[in-house]
Structure 1
Amino acid sequence: MSRQDINRSGEMDVFVRAVELGGFTAAATACRMTPSAVSKLIARLEARLGTRLINRSTRRLQLTPEGCAFYERSVSILADIAEAERYASAGEQAAGPIRINTSASFGNHVLAPLLPAFMALHPAVTLDISYTDKIVDLMEERADVAIRAGPLKNSSLIARKLGAARKFIVASPDYILRNGQPVSIEDLRQHCRIGFSYSRAIGGWPLLDQDDTVLVPVTPGIQVGDGEGMRHLALCGAGLARLAAFTVRADIAAGRLVSVLEDLNPGDLEEFSAVYIGHGGPLPARVRTLLDFLAANVRL
């Protein structure tokens, strides 16, 4: 077979799917091939490259160092190809369902107010929105777009940055009246702190200690699984909570919550992105249109 006859992007796509799905059988299902065909394709790829990419066992696949490097580059190349195809199909009409995964806080306070305008612009689109603060597998959940906070770890996903939000430590006026207002890091030990019940990228509250930012460990008196639940607990006077500005801005303005320890706030920002799977063909116009709309209209 000549070099011109080799479908390199097709080989890369099958290889990437085998790595990310954990086996030839799963990759074969996703690519509408047989497991034997996938195995032979990977073997031909390794023979052409002159190196082993995957160490095979009966239970799992393990990438070699060369396989890791080839995987990372393949993901990037497939993303570039998909981006080129999206530009080429820019005239396609936005229509059909979009599955969105986001946190309840972002969904209620940022996304929901924007949706009437989006739906008015694109009446042929329908939306299916699920709320969770946990990181989900977009392929497994069949989600088109997920809104996520913090750095992107999965290299098979592409992110469109939507902005960054400050965070505030807040409490209800009733809680402050009953427990006093904290004025120092040491005071936090005397207060009930509401924390998340799942692990976070930052495992504490960043606060200023003189000229340095320190990460204050938070042993929560109450744990909750999502930011909106944390906000409601704070509103009910259950304790102190550290939340994104867009979650509590209206509550602070209305006097339902007050910001505390603001002179110790380092002003750190939490980035929010719309993420989607970066390979597997052109991005549908319905999804591309939503991403463009969010990038242009989200204000944090």
Structure 2
Amino acid sequence: MDKLLWMHCFVRAVETGSFSAVARELGIGQPNVSRHIASLEKTLSTRLLHRSTRHMVATPEGQRYYTQARQALDVIAEAEADARGLQRPHGLLRVTCTPNLGTEKIIGALPAFLAQYPDVEIDLRLNDGYVDLVAEGIDVALRGGVLKDSALRARRVGTSQRICVASAAYLARYGTPVVPADLLQHQCLVYTLMASSGGWPFKNGEVAVAGRLRLNSLEGIRRAVLEDVGIGYLPSWMVAEQLRSGQLRAVLSDHAGPPAPLNAVYPTQTMVPRRATVFIDFIAALFAATPGLNGVAIV
């Protein structure tokens, strides 16, 4: 039992970043939290945390131990809940997705989720780059495209289609492309995080576009399109409002490629906690009601 308490103190210390927060949560006093974690480190013969007066961070060994210890505590909690006949989701849920999807679609819906599941906490990480779910202890990642990593499982929660958009002012000045090859004569706003893919895909192949402005942010591209800088290739859900208002116009719609799946991805080798399954259900319902994410073409 002592080791379970030590483990719980360590896991919550990593998650809260504070011994005092763990002490308040468990009602045991901060010196006891420090002593329990020190006992755990002594038993394991390794340092789990680097501590200073202002900062606390898990060592590489501590991060690996945290991931497995958290899974073990989840299994115990789920077993106890099942034994008591309780199915209420609880605990910390770590989620990652792109900044645009997170800020525009996810965050606004979270109050409803948190109200529905008052015992769940969410650590939402907005990141455009690759995230190792197992190494960083992530429960659910929202990712577009076809799943290639065999260490992960996926459930489709929506679809996302990229479309070419431009402002009326840009098209009035430079003309409207009729076929994808016409893009070679235009200023195309290149998204540097997918520049290595070879170009913009259409139903009959890719076009290796170019332009004088490159950006590593989809929001930056949307802003540049609104400022009449060039043609952007963006997820339709990101520009649905601007298309409805007439701020932007879709071009080459008849040549658009097929929509890509949007998946909720999670590790295969870990038990999927109840809080993760209800979150995935929630996101699937949210996207089903969202233009541009529900499989219904906007243009």
What TM-score, normalized by structure 2, do the two folds share? Answer: 0.64
1:182-261 to structure 2, matched below 5 A, reads 182-199=177-194, 202-207=197-202, 213-261=204-252
What SS does structure 2 have at the residue aligned with 1:152? coil
When residues 124 and 278 of structure 1 are mapped into structure 2, their CA distance, relative to the original with a 3 A threshold, is same
Q: CA offsets, 1:87-146, max 9 Å, x none?
A: x95943222322221112222333234323212211222222222222211133332211
When residues 263 and 179 of structure 1 are mapped into structure 2, their CA distance, relative to the original with a 3 A threshold, is same
Report the Cα distance in structure 1 between the residues aligned to 2:185 and 2:286, rounded to whole angstroms: 41
What do you get for the CA RMSD once the two structures are aligned?
2.9
Give the structure 2 partner of residue 180 of structure 1: 175
Report the Cα distance in structure 2 between the residues aligned to 1:133 and 1:200, rounded to whole angstroms: 14
What SS does structure 2 have at the residue aligned with 1:198? helix
Matched, 1:130 2:125: yes
Report the Cα distance in structure 2 between the residues aligned to 1:186 and 1:192, rounded to whole angstroms: 13
Q: How many angstroms does 1:28 deviate by?
A: 11
1:255-294 to structure 2, matched below 5 A, reads 255-266=246-257, 268-280=258-270, 282-294=271-283
When residues 106 and 214 of structure 1 are mapped into structure 2, their CA distance, relative to the original with a 3 A threshold, is same
When residues 220 and 157 of structure 1 are mapped into structure 2, their CA distance, relative to the original with a 3 A threshold, is farther
What SS does structure 2 have at the residue aligned with 1:141? coil
Q: How many angstroms does 1:255 deviate by?
A: 1.4
What amino acid sits opposite 2:123 in the alignment? D
When residues 179 and 228 of structure 1 are mapped into structure 2, their CA distance, relative to the original with a 3 A threshold, is same
Give the structure 1 partner of residue 50 of structure 2: none
Matched, 1:154 2:149: yes
- 1:204, 1:218 within 8 Å by CA — same for their partners in 2? yes
Q: CA offsets, 1:151-179, max 9 Å, x none?
A: 11111111111121222100122222332
- 1:110, 1:246 within 8 Å by CA — same for their partners in 2? no
Runs (5+) with no aligned partner, structure 2: 1-59, 67-74, 294-299
Report the Cα distance in structure 2 between the residues aligned to 1:29 and 1:293, rounded to whole angstroms: 29
When residues 161 and 259 of structure 1 are mapped into structure 2, their CA distance, relative to the original with a 3 A threshold, is same
When residues 100 and 229 of structure 1 are mapped into structure 2, their CA distance, relative to the original with a 3 A threshold, is farther
When residues 148 and 183 of structure 1 are mapped into structure 2, their CA distance, relative to the original with a 3 A threshold, is same
What amino acid sits opposite 1:106 in the alignment? L
Runs (5+) with no aligned partner, structure 1: 1-25, 33-81
Instruction: Count matched residues.
Output: 217
Give the structure 2 partner of residue 105 of structure 1: 100
When residues 200 and 136 of structure 1 are mapped into structure 2, their CA distance, relative to the original with a 3 A threshold, is farther
- 1:103, 1:226 within 8 Å by CA — same for their partners in 2? no
What amino acid sits opposite 2:285 in the alignment? A
Q: How many angstroms does 1:252 deviate by?
A: 0.5
- 2:181, 2:207 within 8 Å by CA — same for their partners in 1? no
- 1:109, 1:246 within 8 Å by CA — same for their partners in 2? no
Q: How many angstroms does 1:202 deviate by?
A: 4.6
When residues 176 and 100 of structure 1 are mapped into structure 2, their CA distance, relative to the original with a 3 A threshold, is same
Report the Cα distance in structure 2 between the residues aligned to 1:176 and 1:263, rounded to whole angstroms: 17
Give identity over the alignment, percent.
32
When residues 287 and 119 of structure 1 are mapped into structure 2, their CA distance, relative to the original with a 3 A threshold, is same
What SS does structure 2 have at the residue aligned with 1:138? coil
What amino acid sits opposite 1:243 in the alignment? L
1:52-91 to structure 2, matched below 5 A, reads 89=82, 91=86
Q: How many angstroms does 1:259 deviate by?
A: 0.5
What SS does structure 1 have at the residue aligned with 2:150? coil
When residues 261 and 273 of structure 1 are mapped into structure 2, their CA distance, relative to the original with a 3 A threshold, is same
Q: How many angstroms does 1:261 deviate by?
A: 1.7
What amino acid sits opposite 2:238 in the alignment? T
- Choose which of 277, 280, 296 in structure 1 pairs with 2:285: 296
- 1:103, 1:132 within 8 Å by CA — same for their partners in 2? yes
When residues 261 and 154 of structure 1 are mapped into structure 2, their CA distance, relative to the original with a 3 A threshold, is same
